Chain A
Amino acid sequence: MALLWPSLALVVLVLLLFLAERRYPAAVARMEENFIASLLAIITLVSFVQVIARYGFNSGWGGALEFTRIVFAWMILFGMSYGVKNGVHLGVDAFVKLLPSRLFRLAALFGAFATFAYAFLLLYAGWLAWVGVDISSNWRQSGAIGYWTFMFDRGTGLDDLRYPVWMQDTFGLQERVQRWVAYLMLPIGLALLAFRSAQGFMQIWRGERELLIAGHEAEDLVAENRDALKE
């Protein structure tokens, strides 16, 4: 039961996203885009400034490397769900496209289900014990939620990343930034991935969407320039 509150928080988060999206689909889409683009901009600028500071002025920020790496991980983990929503993720569609249409739909549904299963298993695999799989019953080892909660309770700090002194003083914080802050995106990203793939499953079910995947990496690029040279 140690995982009740974190799990509930994730459910609430997903619900809020769902409701916000029903009301303002365009704004949510733009927010998602701006979020990943800002993360990319932050990584780039911090790395660049760090290079200039190191080689130009022999100084720099000790936590820069760890910070950029964490932001990079955030970008990927948050981006997984964005990719499912926008059909960015690659897959092999050549074979399923040869199938008769009923089997094709079945395969498409399976693709969405597999993505959901991937996210859900990584979030919490403890339920496998109920169906008789020999898996550790310790909640700390049950997946992303368990691990995050464990880290939250322990409060271990990161290697190099520290809170600024004024924040330590004003809020009475410990010196090092806790690991759980960095790992926050792990359960959130996976929860969003589960949500988006479940959404994709429903869209395929209702016939609003063909597949979860993109056939090749340049689909957008080609669509933009389709028949640019047709004669």
Chain B
Amino acid sequence: MISAILFLLVLTFLFLGVPVAVSLGLSSLIIIIFFSSDSVSSVALQLFKASQNYTLLAIPFFVLASAFMSTGGVARRIIRFAIASVGHFKGGLAMASVLACMMFAALSGSSPATVVAIGTIAIAGMRQVGYTRDFSAGIIANAGTLGILIPPSIVMVVYAAATDVSVGRMFLAGVVPGIVAGLMLMIAIYVMARVKNLPAEEWKGFGEIVAGGKEAGWGLFLIIIILGGIYGGVFTPTEAAAVAAVYAFAVALFVYRDMGPMKGQPWIAEDASPSARIGFSGTVYAVAFFFVFMILSFFATADMDGVTLQGRTLVGLVLSLGVMFAYIIWRGRPHGDVSILGALRDSLPVWGRNLGLTARNFFPAFFAEDTRKVMVEASRTTIMLMFIIVNALLFAHVLTSERIPQTITDAMIGAGFTWFTFLIAVNLLLLLGGQFMEPSGLLLIVAPVVFPIAMELGVDPVHLGIIMVVNMEIGMITPPIGLNLFVTSGITGMSLLQVVKAALPFVAVLFAFLILVTYVPMLSTWLPYSLMGPEIVTR
């Protein structure tokens, strides 16, 4: 009875255009006031406590990291790397767009941001070499949904907070399915490209892959910090997210120099001599190698005895010096007159200029207008998400205190559901719900109801999470309310109906992927469980 009133209130509010957060919060509040002995003070306090959730504290950091990485410059570097890697196949540019979306998804937890950042560059590029507009828009709309499946993913953090599954395992669980989904899309493109005889880019050689990788690598290292830190047991996910946010800030302002006071300042002046250029690159690689080595060895050896900081530093120094000499000798040979010492000496002024530049602009970078804009943008997104999440937690609390999940669990098991039919029901429920609700809010409402049933039926908690995320993905590209459809139609100027039609063939691929993920648990559970051991659910 109470549950019927609760759901009726929420749905009525939602469809009347009340904000999602308020629909959930106000309905819960009404139920508590009229049917429960809890005081309103305790609800208000719960609002505060829910806003303090430690797991959810990772969300603003991931949003911030993704905001710093969502500039056009990062997207362009990633696309260059992607084209160099797979561009030479038939339909290569389209496959490269999918690959670029996958890599961008690893920097940003948001699908619409992926569509805008990669889409604005990639669709224009595809049009230039003769792909149809529908084909290119359809690919981007679909590949953009990978944003929430490939870690770091905000939806996964929310699932973890709602069900007490570990965030680290969820992130690792998203890796294999994310790659499989990307590969499936690429294979579909390759087949279509063979049939339609779409153009291929020329093969520019491994040098271009390395050059592209070097540029994109600064950004992509973000995902290593996050996954490496969590997997190595060094950081909690929230700490990893905080480090990632600061790293993204540093890369965007001080390394890529896409924004802020040093915007557009090149690292090496145009007229530098080959000797200075080689010497500078060599030392940069040495320094970068040293830090990467230190960070990775820190993650890898965190719980090993007998490995000291001094020991690691010594090994790191020797190896990075080796890298430096090898690079200078290798690159210096064609120029003949470049000696190691000469190159190092010539690189000093370049270092001096860049260090001076960084030091002068260090504090201005924190207060630059560009930085402020990104911070405000990230705060807005965080507030929008968290207001919904906090109220959804309130709603979930009312659900559990009215013992609604238990009632539904008993009914479902009494009706003879097995894990197989149950997962179909979950898929249908989420696909339907995904049409009307923002993913993290929907997840928080559905998870408390579905999770106990799943545990009762022996479904793996991490696997269930991945199923839910993939369902949300599909919800983003199916009408009437598919977020990626809106965004794609917005940036291309196509009508919504045109985008829906354009996306349809690839939606079919993602549906096949959903079925695969739902009935092959190994896909999700293999990586996290072999690295971190199984998830233990205590109830």
Q: Does A211 contact B (CB under 8 A)?
A: yes
User: Which residues of A sit under 8 angstroms from B41, Cβ to Cβ?
Assistant: 140-144, 146-147, 150
| Contact yes or no, B375 A118, CB < 8 A | no
| Contact yes or no, B372 A225, CB < 8 A | no
Which listed segment binds A: B193-201, B234-242, B322-330, B523-531? B234-242
Can you name the residue of chain A whose Cβ is closest to the Cβ of B489? A222
Q: Does A227 contact B (CB under 8 A)?
A: yes
Indicate which residue in A44, A83, A225 contacts B246 across the interface (CB closer than 8 Å). A44
Please provide the chain A residues from 83 to 109 with a CB less than 8 Å away from any CB of chain B in the complex. 83-84, 86, 88-96, 107-108
| Contact yes or no, A92 B14, CB < 8 A | yes
A121-159 interface mask toward B, CB cutoff 8 Å, 1 = contact, 0 = none? 110010010000101101011111011001000000000
User: Which residues of B sit under 8 angstroms from A48, Cβ to Cβ?
Assistant: 242-243, 245-246
Q: Chain A at the B interface: mostly helix, strand, loop or mixed?
A: helix
Which listed segment binds A: B22-30, B211-219, B283-291, B445-453? B22-30
User: Which residues of B sit under 8 angstroms from A88, Cβ to Cβ?
Assistant: 380, 383-384
- State the Cβ distance, A177 to closest chain B Cβ, in Å: 15
A45-72 interface mask toward B, CB cutoff 8 Å, 1 = contact, 0 = none? 1011011000100000000010011101
| Contact yes or no, B375 A83, CB < 8 A | no
Q: Does B429 contact A (CB under 8 A)?
A: no
| Contact yes or no, A141 B40, CB < 8 A | yes
User: Which residues of B sit under 8 angstroms from A84, Cβ to Cβ?
Assistant: 19
- State the Cβ distance, A94 to closest chain B Cβ, in Å: 6
Expressed in whole angstroms, the Cα–Cα distance for A96 and B19 within the complex equals 12
User: Which residues of B sit under 8 angstroms from A125, Cβ to Cβ?
Assistant: 33, 40
B17-44 interface mask toward A, CB cutoff 8 Å, 1 = contact, 0 = none? 1111111011001000110000111111
| Contact yes or no, B120 A36, CB < 8 A | no
Which listed segment binds B: A4-12, A14-22, A168-176, A212-220? A212-220
- State the Cβ distance, B37 to closest chain A Cβ, in Å: 9
Expressed in whole angstroms, the Cα–Cα distance for A82 and B380 within the complex equals 9
User: Which residues of A sit under 8 angstroms from B239, Cβ to Cβ?
Assistant: 47, 50-51
Expressed in whole angstroms, the Cα–Cα distance for A220 and B381 within the complex equals 11
Q: Does A160 contact B (CB under 8 A)?
A: no
| Contact yes or no, B379 A36, CB < 8 A | yes
Can you name the residue of chain A whose Cβ is closest to the Cβ of B30? A121
- State the Cβ distance, A174 to closest chain B Cβ, in Å: 21
Indicate which residue in B20, B54, B382 contacts A91 across the interface (CB closer than 8 Å). B20
| Contact yes or no, A213 B64, CB < 8 A | no
- State the Cβ distance, B457 to closest chain A Cβ, in Å: 31
Q: Does A167 contact B (CB under 8 A)?
A: no
Expressed in whole angstroms, the Cα–Cα distance for A190 and B390 within the complex equals 14
Expressed in whole angstroms, the Cα–Cα distance for A189 and B313 within the complex equals 49
| Contact yes or no, B112 A217, CB < 8 A | yes
Interface size class of B (residues with CB under 8 A): 35 or more
| Contact yes or no, A122 B44, CB < 8 A | yes
Can you name the residue of chain B whose Cβ is closest to the Cβ of A148? B44
Please provide the chain B residues from 377 to 426 with a CB less than 8 Å away from any CB of chain A in the complex. 378-384, 386-388, 390
Expressed in whole angstroms, the Cα–Cα distance for A42 and B19 within the complex equals 28
Q: Does B486 contact A (CB under 8 A)?
A: yes
Can you name the residue of chain A whose Cβ is closest to the Cβ of B115? A218
Q: Does A28 contact B (CB under 8 A)?
A: no
Q: Does B487 contact A (CB under 8 A)?
A: yes
Q: Does B513 contact A (CB under 8 A)?
A: no
| Contact yes or no, A228 B127, CB < 8 A | no
| Contact yes or no, B387 A115, CB < 8 A | no
Indicate which residue in A33, A70, A115, A226 contacts B490 across the interface (CB closer than 8 Å). A226
Expressed in whole angstroms, the Cα–Cα distance for A107 and B481 within the complex equals 19
Q: Does A1 contact B (CB under 8 A)?
A: no
| Contact yes or no, B33 A114, CB < 8 A | no
| Contact yes or no, A133 B33, CB < 8 A | yes
Given contact pairs A75-B382, A95-B15, A114-B13, enumerate 15 new A-B contacts (beta carbons under 8 Å): A33-B376, A34-B372, A36-B383, A37-B372, A47-B239, A80-B383, A83-B387, A121-B33, A122-B29, A122-B40, A141-B41, A186-B45, A217-B112, A220-B380, A228-B491
30 A-B contact pairs sorted by A residue (CB < 8 Å): A37-B376, A40-B64, A40-B378, A41-B366, A48-B245, A69-B57, A76-B382, A76-B383, A79-B379, A79-B382, A83-B383, A90-B384, A95-B17, A107-B16, A107-B17, A110-B16, A111-B18, A114-B26, A133-B34, A142-B41, A143-B44, A217-B438, A218-B487, A218-B490, A221-B113, A221-B116, A221-B487, A222-B490, A222-B491, A226-B491
Q: Ordered nearest first, which 10 A-B pairs have the shortest CB separation?
A: A230-B493, A79-B383, A141-B39, A222-B490, A218-B112, A47-B242, A73-B51, A37-B375, A125-B40, A144-B44
